[in-house]
Amino acid sequence: MPMTSRTAIVTGAARGIGAATARRLAADGHAVAVVDLDEADARSTADAIEAAGGRALAVGADVADETAVARAVERVAAELGPPAILVNNAGILRDNLLFKMSADDWDAVLGVHLRGAFLMSRAVQSHMVEAGWGRIVNLSSTSALGNRGQANYAAAKAGMQGLTKTLALELGKFGVTANAVAPGFVQTEMTKATAERIGVPFDDFLAHAAKETPVGRVGQPEDIAAAVAYFCSEDAGFVSGQVLYVAGGPRA
Ligand code: NAP
C-alpha cells in the first residue's frame, strides 16, 4: 500500500528507542513531533531528522502534566498538522525491591508511563476521530510479565497492555488502531543506568543479556522502531489491540 504522509508524535524521543522511532517514522515520510521533557534535548533528534531531509518539530512537555500535554498537542496540530500517529514511549525507571520502594517512586513510574499515555491518547484522539484514521502505539515491556525489583514498572507496563486493548475497542470504529510493542533488553541509556545502579560494567551487563537472549544479541533501538513503524503503517489497519514482544525470543 502506498505510504501517506501523516503527522506523528513520539514521546520521550530525545534519545534511545523514542529517538530511533522518530527517525524511522520520518524516514517513512511522516512529519514528526519529537516530544521530551526538555525541548533542547528534543531538538537534537529533530535536527537529525531535518538534516536527513525530513520534517520535525521539537516540543518540550512532561507527559504526566495535563496542561503541558494539551498545550503540546495544540502546538503540534498548529505547526505540523493534526496528529494521526501517536507513540507513547516516554518512560522512567525507579527500581527497588518492594519493601524498599517508596510511594513516590511508585507514583512517578505510574505517572509517566500510564497517566502519560492516557493523557496523550486522550488529547490526540479527537484529531484522529475527526480524520477517521489513527495509529496509537504504546511501549510495554517484557517486564509486564513480572520482574524482580520492578513492582512499579511491571505494573505500569502491564497497565499499558490493558490501556492498549481498551483504546482498540473504543476507537476502532473511527478508523483508529491501538497496539503495544513490548521490548526485551535494548541497549539504551535506560539499561546503562540499570547497570550503573547495580554496579556492573555496562559491557558485562550487555554480554550477559546477549547470552540470555535466544538470538544471541541484545536489542537496538532500531529493532523496536521497526516494529512500531509496522503498527503505524497503512498495511496494519486490521491489526488492533495486539501486544508484540520484540525480545529476540518468545517472552510471552
Ligand atoms: P531512555 O533512553 O531512558 O529514554 C526515555 C526518554 O523519555 C528520555 O529522553 C526521557 O527524558 C524521556 N522522559 C522521561 N520522562 C518523561 C516525561 N515525563 N515526559 C516526557 N518525556 C519523558 O529509555 P529507552 O530505553 O529508550 O525506553 C523507551 C521506552 O521503552 C520506555 O517506555 C521504556 O520503559 C521502554 N522499554 C525499554 C526497554 C529497554 O531495554 N531499554 C525495554 C522495554 C521497554 P530525560 O532524559 O529528560 O529523562
- Model pLDDT for residues 13-51, shown as the tens digit of each residue: 999 999 999 999 999 999 999 999 999 999 999 999 999
Query: Ligand 1 atom 8: the closest Cα is on which residue?
Result: 12
Whether 245 sits among the annotated catalytic residues: the reply is: no
Would you say residue 3 has pLDDT above 80?
Answer: no
> What separation in Å is there between the alpha carbon of 190 and the centre of ligand 1?
7
For the chain, list the domains and their CATH numbers.
7-184+219-246 (3.40.50.720)
Distance (Å, whole) CA 73 – CA 192: 31
Burial of 131 (C-beta count, 10 Å sphere; 0-12/13-18/19+): middle
Residues above pLDDT 90, as percent of the chain: 98
- Model pLDDT for residues 222-237, shown as the tens digit of each residue: 999 999 999 999 999 9
- Model pLDDT for residues 73-93, shown as the tens digit of each residue: 999 999 999 999 999 999 999
Query: Ligand 1 atom 18: the closest Cα is on which residue?
Result: 62
Dihedral (C-alpha) 53, 132, 180, 230: value to the nearest 10 degrees? -40
**What are the pocket residues of ligand 1 if the criterion is a CB atom closer than 6 Å to any ligand atom?**
11-12, 14-18, 36-38, 41, 62-64, 89-92, 112, 116, 139, 141, 183, 185-186, 188-191
pTM value? 0.98
pLDDT of residue 251: 80
Alpha helices in the chain (DSSP H): 16-27, 39-51, 66-79, 103-110, 116-131, 151-171, 189-198, 202-212, 221-232
Residues above pLDDT 70, as percent of the chain: 99
Report which ligand 1 atom has the smallest distance to the Cα of 111: 18
> Of the residues 106, 118, 153, 205, which is catalytic?
153
Q: How confident is the model at residue 172 (pLDDT cuts 50, 70, 90)?
A: very high
